Amino acid sequence: MVRSSRSESKTPTLTEILESLKSGQTNRRTLYGLSNLERSEAEQVWAIWGRLPVVTRRKMAQMMVEIAESDFEVNFDEVFRLVLEDPDATVRLAAVEGLWENEDIRLVPVLANVLLNDPAAEVRAAAATSLGRFMLSGELGKIRPRPHQQAFQALLAACTNEKEDLEVRRRALESLAYSGESVVIDLIRAAYRHPDERMRVSAVFAMGRSADDRWAAEVMRELHSPSPQMRYEAARACGELELADAVPALLELIEDVDAEVQEAAIWALGQIGGDEARQALDACRHSDSEALRGAAREALRELEFLHGDLGAFLLFDFFEDEEDDEEDWDEDWDEEWE
């Protein structure tokens, strides 16, 4: 069994882990020991897991998700696969979230089953979102047609089920958006006319994800929406679609009353590129807001990577790595840019 080496303490053996679980004396050290288990080892854990109090199971599952997000060496996938069968919805939700980066196509039928049959709407919605990565991989030809089609059919069934919870349907639509099938285009169009704003927001999200500039007019219209959430998604969609015509409106959104909308507009400008976008982003580096300064730096890096020359991109990275303080960084960048 291969385990991640940890400096703070020796990783416990499987026997020690099982004893800790039986006694209820679980801690972060015990959880690290659940990393990179073989299937047979995970099944031994699972045999004890079900006897633990639900509060303990929830805490352990959520902590494993947090650990996995902060430490790339850690892998709880074998445990999470089994925990998908936990009777508690909160624990199952954590398991779906914990498997987020797993690209094993054998997960497709598992997640499809969760999407179509789990009793908890929040778990079904998470499964719908999780299937999106397999939709993207299929569209890029990175996985075989069969798992791609399995994901598509499950998402389509959930999205078109009028009795399904709205949150599940909208997450299914967002994942389907990677597909260029005509039925998906029709679903996005119908969602944009939906009476519930949440579904309309998902429609705009899907428009951006589709990489189809047929939605340019709708996306740009929503940049002026009274809803901050809609303006946010519209700005992101403009960036994903690289709509140069949206630049003037995005420049206005840099001054939006909502901070997240401001950052979305800055991100979009970095994706779109052009002299006007570059000048605006350069000006944002001097903002009083630390969040906007950071967003502008990242957007400029993206702009130079996507639309600039390699020398400028490498120069930007150099000053990013060598930064001592904000004033010196700005002076160096301005001198070298000139």
Q: How many residues does the chain have?
A: 338
User: What is the per-residue pLDDT across 39-71, written as a single tens digit (0 to 9) for each?
Assistant: 999 999 999 999 999 999 999 999 999 999 999
Instruction: Provide the pLDDT for residue 333.
Output: 40
Q: Is the pLDDT of residue 17 over 50?
A: yes
Which range of 10-24, 114-128, 300-314 scores highest in mean pLDDT? It is 114-128
pLDDT over threshold 70, residue 324: no
pLDDT of residue 7: 38
By percentage, how much of the chain surpasses pLDDT 70? 88
Nearest C-alpha neighbor of 288 from the set 335, 326, 324, 328: 326
pLDDT of residue 8: 43
Q: Look at residue 23 in the predicted model and tell me its pLDDT.
A: 84
Give the range among 25-34, 103-112, 137-146, 242-251 with minimum mean pLDDT: 25-34
Taking residues 284-290, what's their average pLDDT? 94
- What are the Cα distances from residue 294, in Å, to 100, 120, 152, 158? 26, 38, 37, 39
Q: Per-residue pLDDT averaged across 6-32, rounded?
A: 78
Question: Residue 305 in 3-state DSSP?
Answer: helix
pTM: 0.88
CA distance 219 to 204: 6
Specify whether the CB–CB gap between 152 and 137 falls below 8 A: no
- CA dist 128 → 2, 67, 166, 174 (Å): 32, 23, 12, 9
Q: Give pLDDT, residue 22.
A: 86
Average pLDDT across the chain, whole number: 90
One-letter-per-residue 3-state SS of 253-317: HCCCCCHHHHHHHHHHHHHHCCHHHHHHHHHHCCCCCHHHHHHHHHHHHHHHHHHCCHHHHHHHH
* Residue 94: other Cβ atoms inside 10 A: 27
pLDDT value at position 335? 45
pLDDT for 211-221, tens place per residue? 999 999 999 99
Question: Could you read off the pLDDT of 91-138 as tens digits, one per residue?
Answer: 999 999 999 999 999 999 999 999 999 999 999 999 999 999 999 999
pLDDT at 30: 84
Supply the DSSP symbol for 12: P
Tokens 């939006």 label which residue? 256
Q: Distance (Å, rounded) from C-alpha 194 to C-alpha 190?
A: 6
Strands (E), the chain: none
Identify the weakest region by mean pLDDT among 24-38, 120-134, 292-306, 319-333.
319-333
Residue 285 has pLDDT above 90, yes or no: yes
